[in-house]
Chains A and B, each alone.
Chain A
């Protein structure tokens, strides 16, 4: 099968999406199925077939999602309805839209994310419960409750910890 000339190819757009919370590892295939389910649920099969979304790349906390040109807005609404992926609570924040993957890869490199600091102290108490600090990024502190059962993740700031 010969490749189509550029003028006859489908026009596509690529969305750069940031996955929250920090440190969440999501399989590209699982995310594809989640986006696909959410698209079908919101817009139905007809529009989902037009959007033809696909997760084409994943770099750390960022993923690049492909769609047909002109359906970026529809896909961005779909992304805002995604709350979990494989029962892991997540939020997908759209960062940029481009016509090429390279541009978005450049953007990922240009986005100055402060290095995740090794938190100190490693443990903290909040509301009389013992937590282990999981992530520290600037003011943001993510802590996970210590224990075997009912371990909750809390989203705090440094100031919350200083008050303890």
Chain B
């Protein structure tokens, strides 16, 4: 199990190279980063997973994109939309993470979608950037949504991931700081630890439905 930041955006999206982000992540207590549109690799002892974020796409185009990327084995994230879209996305094979629920509709993620996410092992991402850089209503809404997601998570036990969405090393936060920020939405240390290991849960090969015993 490796402590993972589920989404960072190195250069050219941000102002820091992937190596520099890896160096910073090591100092901040991480073992792995999921970096957008960056080849997988390892720098300074930090494992880099390639990640893609798909947004503003119809479900049909989404299926084509996932098929195209299947050989590269990236961590596939999809930006959340309305409830119907989210349910369709969660049912797709190859989708790992559903992101951006803090800015989606109020009813975008309900108990049915939560049950489906648990069954299909699709993680729900908690983006810390609105808690870090947001002020006033933006932060309050994000905190409210995250509390709601955590209520469903305790009931249905779908995977959770935590991401900083850092575009610069200055936006990255240490594991201890993340624990403090997550305490704002009612997560204790054990919950945060579990969420930081969330990428392991979704990328591990699933247990076979049938086990042959000789």
Task: Answer whether A90 and B170 are a contact pair too, CB < 8 Å, given A80-B132, A154-B15.
Answer: yes
A156 within 8 A of B: yes
A20 within 8 A of B: yes
Task: Answer whether A80 and B168 are a contact pair too, CB < 8 Å, given A127-B12, A154-B17.
Answer: no
Q: B180 contacts A73, CB within 8 Å?
A: yes
Q: From B11, B172, B181, B184, give the contact of A154 (CB < 8 A).
A: B11
Q: A155 contacts B181, CB within 8 Å?
A: no
Q: From B19, B133, B170, give the contact of A20 (CB < 8 A).
A: B170
Q: A154 contacts B16, CB within 8 Å?
A: yes
Q: B19 contacts A77, CB within 8 Å?
A: no
Give the complex CA separation of A139 and B27 in angstroms.
Answer: 13
Closest Cβ of chain B to A105, distance in Å, is: 23
Q: Kindly identify, within residues 157 to 185 of chain B, every residue whose CB is under 8 Å from any CB belonging to chain A.
A: 168-174, 176-177, 180-181, 183-184
- We find that the number of chain A residues with CB closer than 8 angstroms to chain B is 27
Q: Kindly identify, within residues 130 to 148 of chain A, every residue whose CB is under 8 Å from any CB belonging to chain B.
A: 139-140
Q: A77 contacts B15, CB within 8 Å?
A: no
Give the complex CA separation of A104 and B23 in angstroms.
Answer: 26
A11 within 8 A of B: no
A152 within 8 A of B: yes
B20 within 8 A of A: yes
Q: B20 contacts A140, CB within 8 Å?
A: yes
- We find that the number of chain B residues with CB closer than 8 angstroms to chain A is 28
Give the complex CA separation of A41 and B135 in angstroms.
Answer: 7
Contact with B along A38-81 (1 / 0, CB 8 A): 00011000000000000000000000000000000100110111
Give the complex CA separation of A93 and B184 in angstroms.
Answer: 19
Q: B136 contacts A80, CB within 8 Å?
A: no
Q: Which residues of A contact B136 (CB under 8 A)?
A: 41
Task: Answer whether A157 and B170 are a contact pair too, CB < 8 Å, given A80-B132, A83-B133, A127-B12.
Answer: no
Q: Which residues of B contact A89 (CB under 8 A)?
A: 168, 170
Chain B residue at minimum C-beta to C-beta distance from A138: B23
Chain A residue at minimum C-beta to C-beta distance from B22: A157
Q: B20 contacts A160, CB within 8 Å?
A: yes
Contact with A along B101-125 (1 / 0, CB 8 A): 0000000000000000000000000
Closest Cβ of chain A to B2, distance in Å, is: 21
Q: From B139, B169, B180, give the contact of A80 (CB < 8 A).
A: B180
B131 within 8 A of A: yes
Q: A156 contacts B20, CB within 8 Å?
A: yes
Chain A to chain B contacts (Cβ below 8 Å), 21 pairs? A21-B170, A76-B177, A76-B180, A77-B181, A77-B184, A80-B173, A80-B181, A81-B131, A81-B132, A81-B133, A81-B181, A83-B171, A89-B170, A91-B171, A127-B12, A139-B23, A139-B44, A154-B15, A156-B17, A156-B19, A160-B17
Closest 5 CB pairs of A and B: A155-B16, A80-B177, A77-B180, A91-B170, A157-B19
